[in-house]
Amino acid sequence: MQRHSLTKALFVLPCLLAFVMVMLVPFFYGLFYSLTDWNGVSDSINFIGFAHFGRVFTQPGFLYSFLVTIAYTAINVVLVNVVGFALALLVTGNLRFRNFYRAGFFAPYLIGGIVLGYIWQFIFNNAVPALGAALASQSMQVSLLSRADAVIWAMSAVNTWQYAGYVMLIFIAAIQAIPVSLMEAAKIDGAGYFRRVTRILIPMTANAFTITLFLTLTTSFKQYDMNFTLTRGGPAARFLDQPVNASQLLAMNIFNTAQANHMAEAQAKAVILFVALVVVSLVQVSINKRKEVEQ
Amino acid sequence: MRRIITMALALCLLGGGALMAAPTTVTMMQLKVEIKDALDNYAAKYSAAHPGVTVSVETLGGGADFGGAIKAKIQAGQMPDIFVIEGQGQYNVFKDYIADLSDQPWVKDTDLAFKQNGKVYGFPVSIEGYGLAYNADILKKAGVDPASLTTRAAYEKAFAKIDGMKKALGLDAVVAMAASVSGGMWWVAGQHNLAAYWGGGLAADDTSVIQKALKGQVDDARFLQYAKYVQLLFKYADKNILLNGSYDNQVGSFAQGKTAFLHQGNWVDPNMKQLGVTFKMGYAPHAFLDTVEKGLYLFAPSWYCVNPKSPNAAAAKAFLASIAMTPDGQDYMVNQAGMIPAFKSVKLQPKGQLSQALMAANAKGGNYGVFFGMLPDGAGQNVFGPIYDLFAQNPDNIDQFVSDMKKAIAGLPKM
């Protein structure tokens, strides 16, 4: 028995070691640095307590990034899941070529965020205005990406285009796991399509919603790549009487702070992002779990 | 078993012995992608000519986070022997790893070495510079003499005239200027254009205006003249390029003859060659003052520094000296890498039209210093960038721009 548990421990060791070295240790290092004035290089590191945490909340740029990230996440959670669920309904119905559609809707997910950002930047900045010029539509000739009030909607649209297909796959799996007899019984009892979806499909796929909401929530909160290639944070907008970047999400704000050699301050912002993300996703998962139906 | 151990030990000893006799390898990390091939070739040539020394160059650039990469190297214990700093901010960060180069033979041959408290710490990589580049053919057709563009009033007249002839000249707009955060072009406005306020019309080493700014103060009369110049540029700029254009959009528009002026430095010469530009071009000064200004803005954009903690520091210094002091090194700088050398004894001429214009201006003298490197890190991108972007969206609101900038400058001491 003694020998057995040693073997087990040895088997766990490589994974445990990797986890400790690349996750736990850097994480606690990060927590530590957020309480110092370290610039990323210097040998002298002074402990300054929670000074950064107080200071960042007086910066309009950071506050704005925080708020716009929440707005962006809210838009995404709704859009991605609604579109993804609608697509899933579509391709689980009696549709010809439905496997082709499934593959097609999923394809954008396979394009990396960087490439995708550049493609859509071209569409927004060149293709749409050219179309607008051809149609003599004044409003279409101004790129959505240069309008501070529209830019996060444009970003959400691109994000939905990318993630809806992925979320769709999860919904498809959940819908196919529902016993056919249930739907048929409802149909025989005279329930219309809409009623069957709202009363049977959605409750029965609640566990899928737990997953998809969690995924969309966390990916939107941490968004960086598409943000960088599509807008780089621009255009500028005014917030608390100070110019800020209208589409600069939290991750980009953190990165730009770090790049300006304010490493410890950036780390403090990263800790704030981490805490916010943990709180929000815990709340979301616990609410969703209550709605799940035991099968 | 014992034999295997003996063998292994012997191998280790052999390996160790080989390592001891191994030649010095000077590692260099630099960020100019456009000179990568030329520098690699020169390093190979130098290594071949100096038995026992190998120079290996790592190039990282094209918008990559160079400072971050060096930090990573330090953390990994692989700090290169030669690396690049771009100004005061990075000097402050990396100063523990920067050697005093005051005793080097090239120091007397240049005005642009990186100095700190009278000591030399950086080897100037090249001279770069800018004014407002113009398309000489278009100006000729429009009847505007570029030599007359020495005050803001002259620019106002010339811009209005060319704007009125846009159709006949086949122009989209008068000026190709990019200033947007979204196009990644905040540096054109927030660094290069703003440098006119810091140094324009002053002696090349007069840092009084920026010193004042670093204490949070603004010279109101001077700044208002500058703001009017920015407004002028923004009003006559191509709106799409200004508000969300990229570097390629901006340079491409000028190269295709769709704009008469370009707000970029001599680093666009290779782009012009690529785009097959045949028209004549030159530089007019950024004359933002009411009084006459004729100078261009010249600066060393970056400096090579030597890591004094490395055992190869002496070899690294010798390599840098060879670039400045030997015919091969000078040939590399001018002919292979297409740079303007910062060393006065170099007689070779670069090929690009704008580089030639700069070299002529340098020989003539009366140019202005470029001091944005003295600002705290992140000031250009995080503070000034969005202010210019906002002004570009609404160039009529000059009061807002002035008050935003004053507030931003007042916040500089706390950055």
Burial letters for B69-95: b for 16+ Cβ neighbours within 10 Å, e otherwise?
A: bbbebbeeeebbbbbbbbbbbbbbbbe
Q: A157 in a domain, yes or no?
A: yes
pTM attached to this predicted model = 0.84
Write out the E strands in B269-336: 281-284, 297-299, 303-306
Write the pLDDT tens digit of every residue in B318-366.
999 999 999 999 999 998 888 888 888 888 888 889 999 998 888 788 8
Write the pLDDT tens digit of every residue in A268-289.
999 999 999 999 999 999 998 8
Q: A14 in a domain, yes or no?
A: no
Establish if A132 touches chain B: CB-CB under 8 angstroms. no
Establish if A231 touches chain B: CB-CB under 8 angstroms. yes
pLDDT of residue B63: 59
Q: What is the mean pLDDT of residues A129-136?
A: 88
- Contact between B74 and A231 using a beta-carbon 8 Å cutoff: no
Q: A114 in a domain, yes or no?
A: yes
- Closest CB to A236: pick one of B68, B94, B390: B390
Residues of B in contact with A145 (CB under 8 A): 182, 244
Q: What is the mean pLDDT of residues A95-117?
A: 89
Residues of B in contact with A43 (CB under 8 A): 96
Chain A residue whose CA is closest to B67: A259
- Contact between A235 and B67 using a beta-carbon 8 Å cutoff: no
CB B350 within 8 A of CB B272: no
Q: How confident is the model at residue A1 (pLDDT cuts 50, 70, 90)?
A: low
Chain B residue whose CA is closest to A252: B382
Q: A30 in a domain, yes or no?
A: no
Residues 30-69 of chain B whose Cβ lies under 8 A from any Cβ of chain A? 65, 67-68
Establish if A257 touches chain B: CB-CB under 8 angstroms. yes
Establish if A261 touches chain B: CB-CB under 8 angstroms. yes
**Residue ranges of domains in chain B, CATH in brackets:** 23-128+300-359 (3.40.190.10), 132-295+376-414 (3.40.190.10)
Residue B21 has pLDDT above 60, yes or no: no
Chain mean pLDDT for chain A: 91
Which residues constitute the domain of residue A187?
Answer: 53-291
Q: Hey, of A146, A149, A230, A244, which one would you mutate to test binding to chain B, going by the most B CBs within 10 A of its CB? A: A146
Q: How confident is the model at residue A137 (pLDDT cuts 50, 70, 90)?
A: confident
CB B189 within 8 A of CB B196: no
Residues of A in contact with B68 (CB under 8 A): 40, 258-259
CB B137 within 8 A of CB B169: no
Structural domains of chain A, count = 1
Q: A35 in a domain, yes or no?
A: no
Q: ω into residue B413 within 30 of 0, thus cis?
A: no
CA distances from B57 to A146, A188, B28, B84, B91 (A): 40, 76, 5, 12, 21
pLDDT of residue A48: 92
Q: CATH number for the domain including A140?
A: 1.10.3720.10
Q: A11 in a domain, yes or no?
A: no
Instruction: List all residues 6 or more positions away from A18 whose beta carbon is below 8 Å from its beta carbon.
Output: none
Residues of B in contact with A243 (CB under 8 A): 386-387, 389-390, 404
Q: How large is the ipTM?
A: 0.85
Helix (H, G, I), strand (E, B) or coil at B122: strand
- Compute φ and ψ for B143, nearest 5 degrees: 75, 35
pLDDT of residue B62: 61
Q: A221 in a domain, yes or no?
A: yes
- Angstroms from B313 CA to nearest CA on chain A: 20
Write the pLDDT tens digit of every residue in B230-256.
999 999 999 989 998 999 999 999 999
- Angstroms from A230 CA to nearest CA on chain B: 8
Establish if A41 touches chain B: CB-CB under 8 angstroms. yes
pLDDT of residue A142: 83
Establish if B93 touches chain A: CB-CB under 8 angstroms. yes
Residue B14 has pLDDT above 50, yes or no: no
Q: A246 in a domain, yes or no?
A: yes
- Closest CB to B89: pick one of A231, A236, A261: A261
